[in-house]
Amino acid sequence: MSLEAEVSAHYAKDGLLQRIIEALNEMGVSTGSVTPEDLKSVDEFHVGGFSATTALIDQLDLKPEMKVIDIGSGIGGTARFVAGETGAHVTGVDLTPEYTATARSLSELVGMTAVTDYQTANALNLPFDDGSFDVALMLHVGMNIPDKAALMAEVGRILRPNGLFAIYDIMKVGSEPISFPVPWASVGENSFLEGLQTYREASFQSGFAEVSSRDQTTTALKFFADQKRRNGNAGLPAVGLHILMGNKFPAKLANMVSNIAKERIAPIELVLRLE
């Protein structure tokens, strides 16, 4: 099996849309009344959820006339959030066909098809013309991409001059090996963690300049602690990331928190500008 197929299979979940709809119904939300707010606990598949998305996009000065691409868009939560908050049109691309189909259906349910669209595509071979977008986003995706230089080159190709590339990835910060499974990989062979300097060097080769970078470890650990305190002994919510991560969700989450707390990995922002 190719790496692309293995990564897609890691994320694919049969009947994903139906599971989300059933979970919403369990909460008393019918398909005719779903709002983006109802989807927040499953929509944002990265450390910090929509608060982390807000922290990232607040640095980008997004405007309604802008075209944004969300690389590794999952079920479309970030694309919908960004479109709803800024008015920009957001195109999501993801390697997993079921994620793309679910993203389209959820955007239709919440009435956001005019400001979002989704395509199944590889981040290293994007189906868009040169200079198609003003801004590119990538949240917790680079860990599945071994060739960071090829990624930067392809994003640089589809961005307009002075376009921004905002990254929020889990990056390697320590020398110790990490514990698996984690949300992006069940085994080490499919995890391609790199440090911030590797991202920087790859970006410079493709004509990017660094605008800012920020380690969000402290914020992430507070986020996890707050989640644990809120949930207490109540168990998992009806609508949550366990729907995406399956029955290994507790182990994946626990390992990720432990790896961050032990300073083996860190959630790090990197904002780049194409020169």
Q: 10 Å Cβ neighbour count for 269?
A: 19
List, for residues 174-197, the tens digit of each pLDDT value.
Answer: 899 999 999 999 999 999 999 999
pLDDT tens, position by position, 75-102: 999 999 999 999 999 999 999 999 999 9
CA–CA gap between residue 36 and residue 109 (Å, rounded):
9
Mean pLDDT of the 112-140 span: 97
Distance CA 93, CA 71 (A): 5
The confidence band for 209, taking pLDDT boundaries of 50, 70 and 90, is: very high
CATH code where residue 51 lies: 3.40.50.150
Residue 217 CB-density burial (10 A; 0-12 exposed, 13-18 middle, 19+ buried): middle
- 29-38, 233-242, 254-263, 265-274: the lowest-pLDDT one: 233-242
User: 152, exposed or middle or buried, with CB in 10 Å at 0-12, 13-18, 19+?
Assistant: buried
Q: Domain range holding 259? A: 3-274
Model's pTM, two decimal places?
0.92
DSSP one-letter code for 178 = P
Cα-based distances in Å from 227 to 11, 26, 221, 273: 23, 21, 10, 34
**Would you state the pLDDT for residue 28?**
84
Q: Give me the amino acid identity at 196.
A: L
Q: Could you tell me if 211 and 183 are in contact, meaning their C-beta atoms sit under 8 angstroms apart?
A: no
Confidence (pLDDT) at 167: 98
* Residue 265 banded pLDDT, cuts 50, 70, 90: very high
> Who contacts 179 (Cβ-Cβ below 8 Å, separation ≥6)?
255, 258, 259
Percentage of the chain modeled with pLDDT above 90: 68
| Average pLDDT value for residue range 196-224 | 96
Averaged pLDDT for residues 169-178: 95
Any idea which of 59-63, 67-71, 221-225 has the lowest mean pLDDT?
Answer: 221-225
Distances, alpha carbon 215 to alpha carbons 128, 149, 196, 267, in Å: 31, 22, 10, 6
Query: Can you give the pLDDT at residue 24?
Result: 80
DSSP per position, 204-233: HHTTEEEEEEEE-HHHHHHHHHHHHHHHTT
234 pLDDT higher than 60 = no
pLDDT of residue 36: 87
Write out the E strands in 76-156: 89-94, 116-120, 133-139
> How many domains does the chain divide into?
1
pLDDT higher than 80, residue 42: no
φ, ψ of residue 271 in degrees (nearest 5):
-110, 125
Residue positions counted in the chain: 275
pLDDT score recorded for residue 1: 67
Query: pLDDT: is 254 or 152 the higher one?
Result: 152
